[in-house]
Structure 1
Amino acid sequence: MQNDVHFINFLPDALSIKIFTSLEDPSDLVRFSAVSRSCRRFVITNGLCKHLCLRMFPQLSRVDHVNELGVTLNGHAEAGSSNFMEWEALEREHRVYASLARGFLSFAIRECISEAIIASSTDNHPDESIDNTLDPGDRVRGRASYWSSSGQSNPAVPETLTYKLNADLCVITEINIKPFQAYFQYHYPIYSAKSVRFRMGHIKSSMENHVDEFVWTYTSQEFPMAQENCLQNFKLPEPILCIGGILQIELLGRVQRQEIDGLFYICVCHVQVVGVPLSPFGIQIIEPSEKFVLEVLSYTQPPSPEETRSVSTLQMRVRRGNVVDVVEDGDGWDLFYGELVEDEDENEEEEDVDIE
């Protein structure tokens, strides 16, 4: 590829775009954009990283624009010119969506619940609080640990448990729920629900009279629940991007009546939400449109819960001008963020970057 000549110069733009939008691994796009200035310009101008993220998670269609918070990048173009401003916006989108795609595929899968927010009802607060569902055991310090709804004579009355996740953006793959078995009652009854359903969304940025304080952007199918005292797995048909970091469990239908009062209850001793928290990213909701601003807080990958990765494993490979462009972290990612900067001598012939 002498003098920055490659196949994209000989193909119609529509065909080149079709080829690159067929890629499934974002690292391929990032590698290609690191080959030369024209390759990078092609990827950025056509928003290929954004297109890939939208294909992976259609919920991102609600993004109004992107911001980089606390991120300083060096520039060299004429600040204030319309061409510069337009190109800067395209580059910013490329960096944000490339980093987001990286997070989808390479961040560690882990427990995603940060805290319990509220239950629709509680029988004996705080002894039977929703907070008890965060503990994996059904006994804590010798006492039963579980959440209990209030009793109802109608077994069709539903209940909800609402949780805050540990990032504004989380890719959720499955939810695990363990119904409580009352080992201190006759016949050891299990107070499960008949079925469960899951909602994901965000808190309203402005509320009137605190009514409908949550906006749900995703509602799952209904899953049947077994009347068994075990951690029951509810795997979503496909990974779902939770925008806003709020997850609600709907417990539909009551199975078990309590002998002492003849009322139906639902009791849960543990809830686990499994997925990928995208903690380097945040959102700002734009009302009343319900669109949102996608914000990148850091371009640093969070350490996995099993082992903290040493920064020394990141090896800077390419520096052109005053911006570091290419890093290698062993996961097939060569470009993290930055830009291929023009050489100081404008007449100097471009030298392509060797990424092998």
Structure 2
Amino acid sequence: MMDHCNDFLSWLDPDTSLKIFKCLDDPADLVRVSCVSRTWRGFVVENGLSKQLCLRMFPQLSRVACVVELNQNGVKGHTEVGSSRSMESLALWKDHRVFSYFARSCLSPDAMDCIAKAIGASSTDNFPQESIDHTLEERDNIAGRFSYWSSSGQSNPNVPETLTYQLASQICIITEINIQPFQAHFQMGSPIYSAKSVRFKMGHLKASLNDLADEMFVWTYTSPEFPMAQKFKLPEPVLCIGGILQIELLERVQRQEMDGLLYICVSHVQAQGIQLSPAFTVDILGPSGMFVLKRDHRANCQPSVTSENESGAMITDGDFQQIVTILRGHVMGLGAVDGWDEEEYEVDDFDEDNVL
């Protein structure tokens, strides 16, 4: 039987072969076919199939201007020398390595809370007793005091509120967001100060905080508007580039009996997902929103809290204080799996008559 088997790549035209390979939607399957032979591996690399798979998984990667590999000394690998053809081949292999590792890293089953700290709220009723910082604490009661954030009171139910957070990783995947509205057991009837609906935004800080004519963030993802619930499973996993999450709380429904004003209060916020730093980091390229995707060979994708002093789109202490001041001043909206190396692909060519 084996005498009559052949490699279909030698029988089909390139377009048909490409359609077949594009049916692979699991990164592990793409790695497996890359290990079949040098012919198959070359086909995968030359057609950028690993990159195309990542783009299908996360459309936000369409903003990647280029990818960079950092070697053991923390500098760019693969000095670009030689003919333009050899340089193009090196670039294809580099893209293949980075995007293959990226796709595999995104399948880690180890989801965790990705929020590192609160940046600020659009308003706060009593600061700091009811600040946004309390939403990072899972307990509703600490040392005999209720732990929650409260907006300022409004007579207009349509005045929205926003809660803005910095994530623990410069680049991460968010799959689920949990919000616990606050129930005021110390008030008559134990009212729940919830919003009617909610929306999520993810993105990065602008290159400069000096230009405040517009918002200080660039949003690369905005969710649909969801009816308020405690758990929100996003329609698809979202790649957050830049590490900023904003929660928009829309329409007030609970009026406080004491002053007759409408409030929104939240006890706890959690963003479940996968942190891709330190194995991957990004450099935002100015106002264009394009970014450089960097893979560091010295690190794997085990969850880690990224240092606030890391270069790129992370927020410095000065930036953080300025953002908090701005957000308090007005209401926003009004007006780990280990990777693999190329050595694993180093398989000998075989007799193509014995394939499949």
TM over 0.5: yes
Offset of residue 221 of structure 1: 1.2
Aligned counterparts of 2:180 and 2:64: Cα–Cα separation in 1:
36
After superposition, residues 276-315 of structure 1 pair within 5 angstroms as: 276-279=274-277, 280-298=279-297, 300-303=299-302
Deviates most, 107-116 or 72-81 = 72-81
Q: Would you identify which runs of 4 or more consecutive aligned residues in structure 1 move more than 4 Å?
A: 71-78, 338-342, 349-352
Structure 2 Cα separation of the partners of residues 80 and 35 of structure 1: 29
Q: 1:119 to 1:225 in 2, by over 3 A?
A: same
Matched, 1:336 2:341: yes
Q: Which moved more, 1:117-126 or 1:279-288?
A: 279-288
**What is the CA deviation profile of residues 47-106 of structure 1, one whole-angstrom value per residue up to 9, with x for unaligned ones?**
010011111111211111111124579999994332332111111100110011101213
**8 Å CA contact 1:171, 1:241 repeated in 2:** yes
- Counterpart code for 2:254: Q
Secondary structure (helix, strand or coil) at the match of 1:41 reads helix
Q: What SS does structure 2 have at the residue aligned with 1:106?
A: coil
* Structure 1 position 244, deviation (Å): 1.6
The alignment partner of 2:188 has SS state of coil
Specify the alignment match of 2:225 in structure 1: 222
Q: Does structure 2 conserve the Cα–Cα contact (< 8 Å) formed by 1:107 and 1:302? A: no
- The equivalences for 1:155-174 within 5 A come to 155-174=157-176
- Relative to structure 1, is the Cα distance of residues 75 and 127 closer, same or farther in structure 2, using a 3 angstrom cutoff? closer
| 1:95-174 matched pairs, under 5 angstroms | 95-174=97-176
In 1, Cα distance between equivalents of 2:77 and 2:176: 43
* 1:194 to 2:193 alignment: no
Report if aligned partners of 1:77, 1:84 keep a CA contact under 8 Å in 2: no
RMSD of aligned residue pairs (Cα, Å)? 3.0
Q: Residue 272 of structure 1 aligns with which residue?
A: 270
Residues in 2 aligned to 1:8 and 1:154: alpha-carbon distance in whole angstroms: 66
Decide whether the 8 Å contact of 1:198 with 1:247 is kept in 2: yes
Letter in structure 2 aligned against 1:83:
R
Q: Cα offset for 1:12?
A: 1.5
Superposed CA deviations along residues 124-164 of structure 1, whole A, max 9, x for unmatched, are: 11111111001111111221100111111212110000111
Report matched runs for 1:202-241 at 5 Å. 202-210=204-212, 211-225=214-228, 232-241=230-239
Instruction: State the distance in 2 between where 1:249 and 1:283 align.
Output: 23
Partner of 2:185: 183
Secondary structure of 1:240's match?
strand
Counterpart of 2:17 in structure 1 is 16
Q: Are 1:31 and 1:334, in contact at CA under 8 Å, matched by a contact in 2?
A: no
Tell me the TM-score normalized by structure 1.
0.80
Moved more, 100-109 or 195-204: 100-109
Matched-pair contact (CA < 8 Å) for 1:181–1:188 = yes
Aligned to 2:313: none
Could you tell me whether the CA contact under 8 Å between 2:125 and 2:152 is conserved in 1?
yes
Query: How far apart in 1 are the matches of 2:77 and 2:239?
Result: 33
Where do 5+ consecutive residues of structure 2 fail to align? 305-335, 352-356
Please report how far the alpha carbon of residue 35 of structure 1 lies from its aligned counterpart in structure 2 after TM superposition: 3.1
Matched, 1:31 2:32: yes
Q: Hey, what's the Cα distance between the residues in 1 that align with 2:122 and 2:286?
A: 26
Letter in 2 for 1:181: Q
Partner of 2:86: 84
| CA positional deviation for 1:29 | 1.4
Distance, in Å, in 2 between the alignment partners of 1:256 and 1:75 is 58
Q: Distance in 2 between matches of 1:233 and 1:146?
A: 18
Percent identity between matched residues is: 58
Task: Indicate the residue corresponding to 2:328 in structure 1.
Answer: none
> What do the CA deviations read for 1:189-238 (whole angstroms, capped 9, x no partner)?
21111111111111111233334110111111111126xxxxx1112222
Conserved 8 A contact 1:281-1:298: no
Higher fraction of helix = 2
Counterpart code for 2:85: N
Instruction: Please list every run of 5 or more consecutive structure 1 residues that lacks an aligned counterpart in the other structure.
Output: 227-231, 306-328, 343-348
For 1:315, the equivalent position in structure 2 comes to none
Using a 3 Å threshold, how does the CA distance of structure 1 residues 340 and 98 change in structure 2: closer, same or farther? closer
Alpha-carbon separation, structure 1, partners of 2:12 and 2:292: 35
Distance in 2 separating the partners of 1:25 and 1:221:
27
How many residue pairs match? The answer is: 314
